A and B are shown apart, each in its own frame.
Chain A
């Protein structure tokens, strides 16, 4: 098993962990963190599955570019989610969405 495959498997594991956290938690902060874990897993998979650089050559730049863009998008989305969750807490005094907390 190559190092890339180890990364890819770890990425899949992180994705599963994140998805579980996203579904199982009602606390908004936990769900936002779960989203970030899933995102990290996806990026790890992207880089891990990239073909290894040929001897003496440069690595394929596309996966790196994709992951960088993906990280920027994830940071922006996390910022928006945190801002909304904070405002929701101020307005309602709750840390989860109504229908999740009722369960």
Chain B
């Protein structure tokens, strides 16, 4: 069967090739020409027609066309969307290449060419759903990360993480999978990119196309299930005068406002609570237990170790301290991000090039956190023969991050518990001491006992931290392009990416990390199994190598004036290896000499202070060994579209993918995916006479794309290691093998209408889609007798995602004052259509997001709320139809069906409104984004959690709590409790419907103001263009549905993203 399939496949390929070849077999004489804009840039896809005859051509990517069998005297009609049509006389004397130069039509629309990574196509000729972000739109915003620039400007692209810097925080048209990878595929210069997106210099990017439906994305086959983001970098052009552009900008961001979060109680309140706990005897006064500093003070007072006067002085100091203010003063700063870029582009007769150098230097708003990035790139293309072009390109990126800051969050970690009243600068004006695991009173005496100083002082540590990580990335691309016959070309590509990441953390001997570790292991006789010296941690270096090669045969030509055919067929191989080397720790490290040791006694167990015994932590454990992961992919693909009379377009694509991740038998390894599409330009028909709508086009596509989960395996897999107890080699059965493992598949139907109104001043498009994802991996109910154990996923689940994308662009004003508005609005909702997960723990319905058949993946579950009991202020519940206070009984008898499931956490409605005004070189724009229809679970108090000794939970709702009968009419916050008590009481409020809060909001995301000096003003300076701009980001919320002053994008966060303001300059020579 396998051989039969392969044979059939090969015959089909041969047949297709022969068919394509035959189309051009009657070629005879020809004339060669080129269509350029006034800057000498080639215009791809321009239509060239011979006036007297029914023959014509479409220009290729280099703007070139070839026409056959010309009469002696004739006229060429060259037209291109957005340009004035040219009638150019021809005679037989015309020899060599005819250049036709088109001028921009000021009244016309710009032609948009979308790129799939395999081919470029003018949007008017594509059937699929593409979202295109051109260079101007990309440069509207200022950021170090390229993905951030897509926020709010791409129809259907949702930032689930509002500040996503990686593909994992994005969704293209909602979800297409349940438990596999949700990341859209990122393609850079025609090849999938799996490195760190932060290595990409946004200034190198020319345009981005987002492929949203099957017709657009299925050319990427098994990896396109989550949508594809295609990034194209800037290229040079033939016969283009050298263009040098310089730009630089500086953004300054505000300090985070730590007073945003309401999860705190003021210092005096916390001190009162701790005093009460102290009086109750809740603190175990033992060496190994942390005791809050105010309680230590109370203990000293009780034991007569300090005078009452001294006590009051300290107490008052604590009462007036606020950790948040101290953190803002000492730990945070204004962020300063600098970005500089030099770009040079141009080309000669047979040579074109682009090179760029970029430098980014960012100072984060946490003192001590910085990062720098250097980007270099060079692309050269040579026309070796008139029909043979060779390109070599190289990109190099180096990044380094210093993470030497201490954040507010760090101070609250259990290892360094800090109270809101703990001052960072103490009463004597020196760096203050905050908590650590062990009792402060115990650590205070350490030096007298012959130990090292055992105090943790954040402000001193801040200066000593030395944590860096970085990476280098090299991308190489070699491309040959051979044109032959009429409209054929063969494209061969080789692409290589090498990334190396490293990290290291050097702890100086003075650091708390070293002092704490050495002290813990100091023996009774004061000997030190861990020598007192620096400690250097070298993180696990990761190195990746990706090789890809692709060969592709393209056809792009027209037959007569009425038929236009574009087709491609090709194959691709790809291998990615990921090598990891174990991490290493060097003890007694001397920073100056670079000496240290890894040879300590890691096997013996030493008594530790204050209690227990332990071995010396050995970062490089015996089980760690260098590891290599290899992914391999093999693909064949084909794509064709046919346009008749510029009105009717049909398109088809097919792709076969194989991977070593799936299957042992070749015929199960691969998956074949395909798409079909059609479009009809209704306005081009002779019967069409709607003058108000001069352009109307209908599109419809259907097809499939795939997805894969790398954690699953077809065959049993083991991981080998060493048994911790016996030291014998041992294997762990990672997966018992899933003989039925296959690719996930997403079938997408897309239907769209594009129209222009009011002489093209309003352009709109609306698309409806329906994605049925099937064969999704999910935990399945299995017969336990099979012994499969945990994590056994089977391809059986399915998910339905539906939605629509609406887009409207309007030129409200033309003339000296131009005003353009762009409106985006999308809707998306998903529903699990098949899933039988094993029963889940009841409480995980609140904390996790369990997948439930028939429900959305994004649901928030909550408990019904019946108000507070007037008698005691605790939640009321309903048992047998009666209001009661028996919440334990009620909760324990709850079923999943009793939960409310009426809110989703990801906004189903989202979009943006972008306005731009231009007047004599001045441009003003602002972007408003909105999200509707979603909810979030708001934080509040947990009665009694304030009185928990370890990790208490505070919230300002404490002051809005029920205090006396009658309060239940004005508040939903339950009464105080002197201890946590039954968790059911807590859950009934914490996970109740009243804390599920509407997330709808509208925000002004950014605004930009720029001034461009006209060319005639710059003659003296010999400049082409000069542009100044001011850009403001995270401006603020315009409207929100909740009345709690919570920014729904920052629910439960310590602060919202601070505003930032950038100043920039762009010069072009």
Q: Specify whether A and B are partners.
A: no
